[in-house]
Amino acid sequence: MNKTKHTASFEIAQPVNDLFPLFSPEGEKLWVPGWDYENIMGGTDIHENYVFLTRNHDHASAEAVWIVKKYDPKEHCIQLYKIEPEYKVGIIEVTCIQLSSAHTKIQVSYEYIGLSDKGNQFIEGFTSSAYKSFIEDWKDSLITYFRTES
């Protein structure tokens, strides 16, 4: 079994209460190019143990089952399990930290655990520089979203 974990952060000139809701299945549809999910819970209100599916997105080798592990809107934190059977398990955490009324720091951690040779190969290629580039894409996409929403 191989595993890896990376954490990075960036700042956005937006209020925390405008940013945090974007880190949900519905919210990501607004700013992540190509993001969609299958809602199997019926509602869109996020809560712990909320489950949804994706087909091939965000480091996916296969269809993924996502389970909200922790959801704390008061602390602006969400943690999810992302399970790709036979490939890998991910633990993703996003925390938004209010720096001022109109400025927020977003901290993002991805931990992957390989479940097979293919999953382990992914982990070997998931370097800190690849992760940094991935998180820069998040920042760029969020800036673009807020620019077009203005």
Percent of the chain predicted with pLDDT > 70? 94
Assign 14 a pLDDT band (cuts: 50, 70, 90). Answer: very high
Q: Does the pLDDT at position 145 exceed 90?
A: yes
85: DSSP letter: T
Amino acid at 118: K
Range of the domain at 117: 3-149
Which pair of tokens denotes residue 73?
């809107």
Given this model, what pLDDT does residue 60 score?
Answer: 56
Given this model, what pLDDT does residue 1 score?
Answer: 63
Tell me which residue of 106, 123, 133 sits closest to 9, measured CA to CA.
106
Given this model, what pLDDT does residue 149 score?
Answer: 80
Amino acid at 123: I
Domains: count for the chain: 1
Alpha-carbon distance values, 107 to 20, 30, 85, 122 (Å): 11, 19, 27, 23
What mean pLDDT, rounded, does the chain reach? 93
Given this model, what pLDDT does residue 59 score?
Answer: 57
pLDDT, one tens digit per residue, over 96-108 is 999 999 999 999 9
pTM: predicted TM-score of the whole model, two decimal places: 0.93
Given this model, what pLDDT does residue 63 score?
Answer: 87
Task: Give mean pLDDT, residues 73-85.
Answer: 96
Which pair of tokens denotes residue 106?
């977003």
On the CB side of 99, CA atoms within 13 Å amount to: 13
Which CATH number characterizes residue 95's domain? 3.30.530.20
- Under 8 Å CB-to-CB from 43, ≥6 apart: which residues? none
Given this model, what pLDDT does residue 76 score?
Answer: 98
Q: Does the pLDDT at position 41 exceed 60?
A: yes
Task: Give mean pLDDT, residues 68-94.
Answer: 96
Cβ-based neighbour number of residue 81 at 10 Å: 15
Task: Give mean pLDDT, residues 41-53.
Answer: 95
